[in-house]
Amino acid sequence: GDFPEEVDTLIIGSGPGGYVAAIRAAQLGQTVTIVEKGNMGGVCLNVGCIPSKALIEAGHRFHNAGNSDDMGISVGDVKLDFSKVQKWKGSVVDKLTGGVEGLLKGNKVNIVRGEAYFVDDETCKIMDDKNSQTYKFKNCIVATGSRPIELPAFKFKEGKVVSSTGALALEEVPEKLLVIGGGYIGVELGSAYANLGSEVTILEGTKQILPSFEKQMSQLVSKRLKNMGVTIKTEAFAQEMEETKNGVKVKAEVKGKEEEFEGNVLLVTVGRRPNTDELGLEQAGVELDDKGFVKIDKQCRTSASNIYAIGDIVAGPALAHKASYEAKVAAEVISGEKSEIDYTAIPEVVFSGPELAQVGLTEAQAKEEGYDVTAAKFPFQANGRALSLNESEGFMKMVTRKEDGLVLGVQIAGHNASDMISEACVAIEAGMTAEDIALTIHAHPSLGEITMETAEVALGMPVHIT
Ligand code: FAD
């Protein structure tokens, strides 16, 4: 007895793609049903952005508490109760996931718990432990996200060989933490545990950690990590592992030579794969590319014209704000608006020490695209706020078009780069020039002045450096 339920807009997945799409579609007048098989909020809120930043902050506070002698602050033994850190982290997650559920209800979105599976291009089955219910939809937005890649030689094993999810849920700070993968997740979690007291080793296959950033930026991070006692091995390929009594032993080829590493916990973070293989997309006529991402047009429409795809399951950077951005475009398109995606100003941030952030083109990318550019740089050292925060390491770089100063890209390595990058995003999005930024009055003393002064460097007239 399965009578199909008729719905207007069906959204699959409640991460920063799905829940934002649901809210925006409802705001635009659609009747929306969202289906989630796990926790509300997806990877981002439960096992991604939010809990990782909470652990990173706890790490900073613990580390800084014991390392502020130069400011005249000495404390005795700084103690860490990691179970309390975990509890606090959990409370942050709970507030946000509860908030998402509240927002969905407040926007009259119908929430269904279960796993969605396509039968054809207008029908889904939604299953929970016991029941299966058929839904007929007019339009559908798929936002099923991604999961960690598991390497055959390093199968996940709870508490010992972990993905980012397991690394966020450890019950104790491991004495020795071994990390395979020096991308942002490996660096963020590696630094957090290093700050919390682990002896950390990071193995990275390419020539530098954080390979999507310019060498000068990633070098600042590796220098800081090394000062904290973190071992970084580049051009290092982990090959096999062996379980030991209280951890694992990993054999790796480092710059052509075999080396062995030991850890109580091994974190394997070598990328994520899209969740596009287990929900019957082929039965709905939704085509994938050769890497398993859903093919979409500029309006997030798949090869099935009433089915849209957003977030980690489509190509491009796997970032929460990209998912939410695409979510709004898809919701608007279904509502009859002429929106389309424009990836010119998607920021990328690493919450490392110091933080790295970039948006738009790097100097090399701009030149490759044929621009004649000016690359202006300004050091945090010349900014009063940075000095008074005791965070004077790093720089901002602004890439502008020579003929008119149009801002093409900004890269920041330094304290609070994650917040500072927003001004650069606005500048690029609005088509501003270095002069527009330089003419804007920035509050003093603030890190924001670095943006104004970098723009002045681009114009050849910085006040605070010669
Ligand atoms: P997800 O968040 O993955 O959500 C997909 C949802 O769909 C899940 O809840 C899942 O249960 C559900 N689902 C899947 N299949 C089905 C089905 N068949 N039926 C019903 N429900 C289904 N990004 C940033 O921008 N900044 C950061 O600082 C950051 N830090 C991160 C740290 C870590 C450790 C990790 C792992 C990721 C981080 N990310 C960060 C990436 C970010 O989490 C993802 O880009 C984002 O969550 C993608 O959103 P999404 O909506 O596409 O999918």
What is the per-residue pLDDT across 210-239, written as a single tens digit (0 to 9) for each? 999 999 999 999 999 999 999 999 999 999
Instruction: Report pLDDT digits (tens) over 265-318.
Output: 999 999 999 999 999 999 999 999 999 999 999 999 999 999 999 999 999 999
| Closest residue to atom 34 of ligand 1, CA basis | 48
Task: Work out the average pLDDT over 412-435.
Answer: 98
Total residue length of the chain: 466
Ligand 1 atom with least separation from CA of 42: 9
**From 29-38, 66-75, 277-286, 440-449, the region with the lowest mean pLDDT:** 66-75
Ligand 1, residues 10, 11, 19, 44: which to mutate, most atoms within 8 A of Cβ? 44
Catalytic residue at 415?
Answer: no
Residue type, 74: S
CA 183 to chain centre: 11
Vertex 408: Cα angle to 403 and 412 (nearest 5): 130
CA 355 to chain centre: 13
Q: Is 330 in the pocket of ligand 1 (CB under 6 A)?
A: no
Q: Is 300 in the pocket of ligand 1 (CB under 6 A)?
A: no
Consecutive H or E run containing 186: helix 184-195
| Average pLDDT of the residues of the chain | 97
Ligand 1 atom with least separation from CA of 317: 45
Q: Is 10 in the pocket of ligand 1 (CB under 6 A)?
A: no
Ligand 1, residues 43, 52, 286, 425: which to mutate, most atoms within 8 A of Cβ? 43
Separation in Å, CA 369 to CA 372, 401, 459: 9, 11, 22
- What is the Cβ-side half-sphere exposure of residue 396, based on CA atoms within 13 angstroms? 31
**pLDDT classification of 2: cutoffs 50, 70, 90:** confident
Indicate whether 71 pLDDT > 80: yes
Vertex 261: Cα angle to 257 and 263 (nearest 5): 165
Calculate the dihedral angle through the C-alpha atoms of 363, 369, 373, 379, rounding to the nearest 10 degrees: -20
Consecutive H or E run containing 108: none
Instruction: Report pLDDT digits (tens) over 134-185.
Output: 999 999 999 999 999 999 999 999 999 999 999 999 999 999 999 999 999 9
Q: Is 148 in the pocket of ligand 1 (CB under 6 A)?
A: no
Q: Which two tokens stand for residue 389?
A: 């925060």
Return the number of other C-beta atoms located less than 10 Å from residue 294's C-beta: 24
Ligand 1 center to 412 CA (angstroms): 26
Ligand 1 center to 15 CA (angstroms): 5
Ligand 1 atom with least separation from CA of 148: 36
Indicate whether 415 pLDDT > 70: yes
388: CB partners within 8 A, 6+ apart: 445
Ligand 1 center to 144 CA (angstroms): 8
Indicate whether 23 pLDDT > 60: yes
Nearest one of 100, 39, 112 to 327, comparing CA atoms: 100
Q: Which two tokens stand for residue 384?
A: 């009063």
Separation in Å, CA 110 to CA 25, 103, 185, 368: 12, 11, 34, 48
Determine contact, residues 286/305, Cβ cutoff 8 Å: no
User: What's the N-to-C CA distance of the chain in angstroms?
Assistant: 79
Q: Which segments within 21-166 are labelled E, that is strand?
A: 32-36, 110-113, 115-120, 123-127, 132-142, 146-148, 161-162
Task: Work out the average pLDDT over 113-133.
Answer: 96
| Closest residue to atom 43 of ligand 1, CA basis | 44
Annotated catalytic residue, options 63, 321, 444, 464: 444
Ligand 1 center to 152 CA (angstroms): 23
Ligand 1 atom with least separation from CA of 19: 51
Vertex 137: Cα angle to 135 and 139 (nearest 5): 150
Ligand 1 atom with least separation from CA of 39: 9
Q: What percent of the chain has pLDDT over 90?
A: 99
Rounded CA-CA distance 190/199 in Å is 9
Ligand 1 center to 78 CA (angstroms): 35
Burial of residue 2, with CB atoms counted within 10 A of its CB: 0-12 exposed, 13-18 middle, 19 or more buried: exposed
Q: What is the pLDDT of residue 358?
A: 98
Ligand 1 center to 208 CA (angstroms): 26
Q: Which ipTM did the prediction report?
A: 0.99
For the annotated binding site for FAD, the residues are 53, 144-146, 312
Q: Is 360 in the pocket of ligand 1 (CB under 6 A)?
A: no
Rounded CA-CA distance 82/171 in Å is 7
Adjacency order of strands within the sheet including 247-254: 236-244, 247-254, 257-263
For the annotated binding site for NAD(+), the residues are 181-188, 204, 271
Q: What are the beta bridge partners of residue 400?
A: 374, 407
Indicate whether 1 pLDDT > 80: no
In degrees and rounded to multiples of 5, residue 273 shows phi and psi of -115, 145
Q: What are the beta bridge partners of residue 176?
A: 199
Rounded CA-CA distance 125/131 in Å is 10
In degrees and rounded to multiples of 5, residue 371 shows phi and psi of -80, 145
> In this structure, what DSSP letter does residue 295 have?
P
Consecutive H or E run containing 248: strand 247-254
Most distant pair of Cα atoms in the chain: their distance:
79
Ligand 1 center to 43 CA (angstroms): 3
Q: What is the pLDDT of residue 329?
A: 98
| Closest residue to atom 28 of ligand 1, CA basis | 49
Q: Is 125 in the pocket of ligand 1 (CB under 6 A)?
A: no
Q: Is 42 in the pocket of ligand 1 (CB under 6 A)?
A: yes
Nearest one of 162, 230, 239, 228 to 202, comparing CA atoms: 230
Ligand 1 atom with least separation from CA of 49: 30
**pLDDT classification of 378: cutoffs 50, 70, 90:** very high
Q: How does DSSP assign 310-333, residue by residue?
A: -GGGBSS---HHHHHHHHHHHHHH
Q: Is 143 in the pocket of ligand 1 (CB under 6 A)?
A: yes
Rg of the chain, C-alpha, whole Å:
24
Helix, coil or strand: residue 381: helix
